[in-house]
Structure 1
Amino acid sequence: MKLQALPVTAEEFAPFGRVHAMVPALQPEEPAARLVVSSGDGWSDVYTANPLISTNGSLGMTLGSGAPFSTRRMERHLGTEEALFTAGSPVVLAVAAPTDAGQPNAADVRAFVINPGTAVVLHQGTWHDACHGVDGDAYYYWMATCGGDGGSTWTDVEDGPVHVEVGVSAAGGNRG
């Protein structure tokens, strides 16, 4: 199965989590994603009005290979939300909505481009792959509660793999 990555928007990403576009003009209507903006002489600042995730979280950093890529396995976290945001280069995230099933199905997988200045927060139980760089290998940060739930378990994608590609329109967006 082949899949084209889409630019991440609050509406398209809603089944999987919420979007924090840290550019005030792009701020979604959702109260949980509300931003606080301030500025001074030579600087401007924006931060989330609410904590990024609903539990105390650890900050991690991962290096993902570049697109295109194949999603063969995914993980989910039943005890924590997970925030993901780029360390400078656009990344692609493959996800599938939370289900009671023991594994995600390839037909349910969607892929989104996350540009610098945007963070996504996955609902608890959302299936997801590691992020991959749009233009080659890329680092990204994640925040989640670690430990206590036995750690993440990577599970095969039923009827997979899913081959993910990035089109020009998806990669364009706000690239910092």
Structure 2
Amino acid sequence: MEPSLARYIWRHTKKQQIWILLIVLLSMIPYFMSFDLPKLIVNGPIQGKGFEQPGATQPFMRLHYDLPFIGEVQLFSGFQLDRTATLLALSVVFLLLVVINGLFKLYINTYKGRLGERMLRRIRFDLVDRVLRFPPFYFKRVKSAEVATMVKDEVEPLGGFIGDAFLQPVLLGGQALTAMLFI
């Protein structure tokens, strides 16, 4: 076995750790958008910015980019909505972002749990393999229940750590960095 638990985890779960780290980085996009959208809801339809005239409308879902050397490129002009319809549309988008963020959290936590359980099974197998290398006369002094407890119960707390070992710092750091960028 590896002398370092982190090295052991990385050696056996490198592909899975990289996959879940990519999912965490991808989840930061709707996380940032869910910060920005309430500001748009309050500043736009609630306070009436852009709706000063009766019957005024604003484009919703307008896709345009200001590119250097080219100028503004408009891909979609958007839907013209009045103040109430814009408030309703932005609220539905906010609800959708909350659901998407919840689904990301569900996937990440489920994947962490499965990864931890797989690694626990591997560690237990390695421990049993190590124990069986001892000569048979050592087992006469040790009760089988002690060995089973060691293999089963003593490594159980490692399951939560295995799933969080590389993911938790990236997840919490990414959320803190996203919040600081928003501020």
Taking structure 1 as the reference length, the TM-score comes to 0.23
Which is higher, the Rg of structure 1 or of structure 2?
A: 2
Higher relative CO (Cα under 8 Å, sequence separation at least 6) belongs to: 1
Q: Higher strand share goes to which structure?
A: 1
Q: Higher helix share goes to which structure? A: 2
Compute the TM-score of the two structures, normalised by the length of structure 2.
0.23
